[in-house]
Structure formats: structure tokens, C-alpha cells
């Protein structure tokens, strides 16, 4: 090849790269949502494409090749930016303690046993309305009973649960060991 042909090819190549810069920037910005970072990634892609231009075999594959370089630049940036935290300087605090978990289990068990003590009709209605979120009309249709019956069973079930659970509350507090501060 003549020197003139190589220069023309170089100018054409640079022109084609320049035409693709906006497309590369738009994609980089879509990935990063940061204008400065998108510009840096685009610039890095362009520099690598200029340095490695001899690796491009077919000019028709230029877009695919450039976006492949952009993808690799983004991955490299992402790898470099992995957040790190020094554990010695941070406090590790868990908001849920074993005591809280045990108390929660105890309450759940008490509520389940109170619901189990309800008559069948009331248990069905309260489970469908309060636990499953069905409307009164849907429950009436599912159980094949009038809507008034659904409302009265639900009212009686809630009152009975309220009475039983209020009776449980003092027992729960008295059953749990008390922590005392010793000076």
C-alpha cells in the first residue's frame, strides 16, 4: 500500500470513529446515569479504538467492535469501583434479638391457639376476611351463607379473640423473666 492510501485510511477511520462518538456516549450515559462517567467511558473507548484500530478486520463490524470495547471499559470501571467497608470501624448491630424472636413466637402461638378455640363458623369467617382479605360478599358466596351471618360471625369472633388475647397479655408478661440491674 502506498503512504497516501494509509493516510486516507487513517483519516477515514478517525472520521468514522468521530461519527460514532455520540452513539457511544448515549449508551454509556444510559448505563451509568452520570454524564462525567459516560464521557470518561466514551473517551476511553475512543482511545482504545484508535490504539487497536489494526485489530479491526472488517469496517462493517465497526459498531459492534466499538460497543464491545465500551462494554469492556464499563466492566473494568465497575470492577475498580467495588465498594469496600472497613469492618473494624463499623458497628454491627442486629435489631432483632433472640429474645424478641422468642417473644414473637410466643405471641403467634397464643393467637393461633385462640383462633383454634373459635367455633368452626367463626374461624372460617375470620380466616377468610382478616387473613385472606376477602370481602364480606365474597365470604358469603364462598360459604353459602347470608352476608348478615358473615358480619355477625365476624363480630363475635373478633370480640372473643379480643377478650382471650387481653387475658393472655398479663400471663405473657408474668411468664417472661425480668431483667434487673445490679449495681
CA distance 52 to 132: 63
Residue 94 confidence (pLDDT): 72
- Give the least confident one: 18-22, 119-123, 156-160, 174-178: 174-178
pTM above 0.75, yes or no: no
Query: Which class for 71: exposed (0-12), middle (13-18), buried (19 or more C-beta within 10 A)?
Result: middle
User: DSSP class of residue 177?
Assistant: P
How many CA atoms lie less than 13 Å away from 1 in the CB half-sphere?
8
What would the mean pLDDT of 92-101 be, rounded to a whole number?
79
pLDDT band at 56 (very low <50, low <70, confident <90, very high): confident
Using alpha carbons, select from 43, 17, 13 the residue that is nearest to residue 28.
43
More confident: 127 or 169: 127
Amino acid at each position: 500500500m502506498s503512504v497516501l492510501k494509509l493516510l486516507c485510511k487513517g483519516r477515514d477511520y478517525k472520521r468514522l470513529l468521530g461519527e460514532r462518538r455520540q452513539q457511544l456516549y448515549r449508551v454509556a450515559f444510559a448505563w451509568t446515569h452520570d454524564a462525567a462517567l459516560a464521557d470518561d467511558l466514551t473517551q476511553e473507548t475512543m482511545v482504545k479504538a484508535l490504539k487497536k484500530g489494526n485489530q479491526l478486520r472488517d469496517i462493517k463490524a465497526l459498531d459492534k467492535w466499538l460497543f464491545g470495547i465500551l462494554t469492556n471499559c464499563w466492566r473494568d470501571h465497575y470492577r475498580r469501583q467495588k465498594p469496600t467497608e472497613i469492618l473494624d470501624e463499623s458497628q454491627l448491630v442486629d435489631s432483632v434479638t433472640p429474645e424478641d424472636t422468642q417473644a414473637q413466637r410466643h405471641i403467634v402461638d397464643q393467637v393461633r391457639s385462640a383462633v383454634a378455640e373459635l367455633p368452626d363458623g367463626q374461624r372460617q369467617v375470620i380466616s377468610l376476611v382478616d387473613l385472606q382479605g376477602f370481602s364480606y360478599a365474597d365470604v358469603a358466596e364462598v360459604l353459602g351463607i347470608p352476608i348478615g351471618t358473615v358480619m355477625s360471625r365476624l363480630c363475635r369472633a373478633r370480640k372473643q379473640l379480643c377478650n382471650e388475647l387481653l387475658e393472655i397479655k398479663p400471663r405473657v408478661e408474668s411468664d417472661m423473666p425480668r431483667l434487673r440491674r445490679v449495681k
